[in-house]
Amino acid sequence: MTEQNLLKINNLYVEYHSNKGILGGIVTIHAVNGVSLDIHKGEIIAIAGESGCGKSTLAKALIQLEPIKSGEIYFEGENILNFNKKQLKEFRKKCQMVFQNPYASLNPKMKIIDILKEPLEINTDFSAEKIYDIVKEKIKLVGLDENCLNLYPHEFSGGQRQRIAIARALVLEPEFILADEPVSALDVSIQAQVINLIKDLNKKLGLTFILITHDISVIKYLADRVAIMYLGEIVESGKTEDIFSTPLHPYTKALLNSAPQLNKTDKKILLNGDLPSPADLPKGCKFHTRCSYVMEKCKNCIPQERGASHKVKCFLYE
């Protein structure tokens, strides 16, 4: 079966400028550096990497919440970077976000019914009756009873609040959901319930999820495909089973080694040192300052992406 692309990202760059340099000059933060990635309709794709690798910036850039320097993002064949305000508003209805912390993402002063009605009241001209029907349908879809609609967020557990946040993301019937570390703020005992809910919604609705996470076990259980990011680049991508059974990039191997129970890779591959600053990117392969396999050419030359469905950027495979 050939996969249909929902999103196609071509050579995307995101940069910030800050005037907090040591000598008071302008500092450029290279947050996303030449990312190209296809996102298939109906899949769960994980964008993974250490904190600061650019994964959340990439996700926000997909819905134009970040300053894009250059590149293209195609959605249903059109480059969203050329959209006017009206087109962008329509596009944003089709993509919704679920945030890491359900304690902060739900307005504590609003009843659940009002939280769920709000996106429909702002974005549609549906009747009050139709809006209420949609709200009831979505709250049931995430496994909660409609009686909870008249309660406030503080009356729910963290897991229930994240279900409500997911219900709110569903009311506009989006094409895809960006879920940024959706279980990392929850107790371990609750995480599995929310993970299973995401999996169920993906299967039942054919809904695409873009999962931003550093959690290797969540990726292994949930994702169909994985893109591994390092300093704003995707260094390896492929089907989850291929990435876990045959990781290629030394950084991917080190990341997998950081999850002891899942570790089936070479024990010698460990991460050395800290992530360099995105304001001062290393020359050549950006991983060369921490790589156990570094060669002379890695310090000056940039490896090209190789492979078809399982892709890697490393001179060991050229």
Kindly tell me which of 85 and 267 has the beta carbon lying closer to ligand SF4: 267
Q: Is 281 in the site for ligand SF4 (CB under 6 A)?
A: no
274-280 contact pairs (CB < 8 A, 24+): 275/50, 275/52, 275/53, 275/231, 276/231, 278/29, 278/30, 278/31, 278/52, 278/54, 278/231, 278/232, 279/18, 279/27, 279/28, 279/29, 279/30
Among positions 4, 295, 300, 304, the unique one binding ligand SF4 when judged by CB under 6 A: 295
Q: Is 206 exposed, middle or buried (0-12, 13-18, 19+ CB in 10 A)?
A: exposed
Q: Is 247 in the site for ligand SF4 (CB under 6 A)?
A: no
Q: Is 288 in the site for ligand SF4 (CB under 6 A)?
A: yes
Q: Is 78 left (phi over 0), alpha (psi -120 to 50) or beta?
A: beta
Q: What gap in Å lies between CA 47 and CA 159, rounded to an integer?
A: 23
CB of 135 to ligand SF4, least distance (A): 49
Q: Is 314 in the site for ligand SF4 (CB under 6 A)?
A: yes
Among positions 74, 294, 305, 307, the unique one binding ligand SF4 when judged by CB under 6 A: 294
Amino acid at 103: Y
Among positions 45, 250, 252, 311, the unique one binding ligand SF4 when judged by CB under 6 A: 250
Q: Is 316 in the site for ligand SF4 (CB under 6 A)?
A: yes
Kindly tell me which of 145 and 296 has the beta carbon lying closer to ligand SF4: 296
Number of residues lying near ligand SF4 (CB under 6 A): 14
Q: Is 315 in the site for ligand SF4 (CB under 6 A)?
A: yes
Q: Is 291 in the site for ligand SF4 (CB under 6 A)?
A: yes
Cα angle for residues 130, 153, 169 (degrees, 5° grid): 45
Q: Is 287 in the site for ligand SF4 (CB under 6 A)?
A: yes
Q: Is 275 in the site for ligand SF4 (CB under 6 A)?
A: no
Of 270, 266, 224, whose CA–CA distance to 248 is shortest?
A: 266
Among positions 83, 103, 221, 293, the unique one binding ligand SF4 when judged by CB under 6 A: 293
Q: Is 156 in the site for ligand SF4 (CB under 6 A)?
A: no
Kindly tell me which of 244 and 287 has the beta carbon lying closer to ligand SF4: 287
Q: What gap in Å lies between CA 42 and CA 224, rounded to an integer?
A: 10
Using the rule CB under 6 A, give the single segment among 6-14, 50-58, 129-137, 308-316 that binds ligand SF4: 308-316
Q: Is 71 in the site for ligand SF4 (CB under 6 A)?
A: no
Among positions 45, 117, 303, 311, the unique one binding ligand SF4 when judged by CB under 6 A: 303
> Mask 80-99, x = binds ligand SF4 (CB under 6 A)?
--------------------
Kindly tell me which of 176 and 287 has the beta carbon lying closer to ligand SF4: 287
> Mask 92-131, x = binds ligand SF4 (CB under 6 A)?
----------------------------------------
Instruction: Residue 267: count other Cβ atoms within 10 Å of its Cβ.
Output: 8
List interacting residues with ligand SF4 (CB under 6 A).
249-250, 285, 287-288, 291, 293-295, 298, 303, 314-316
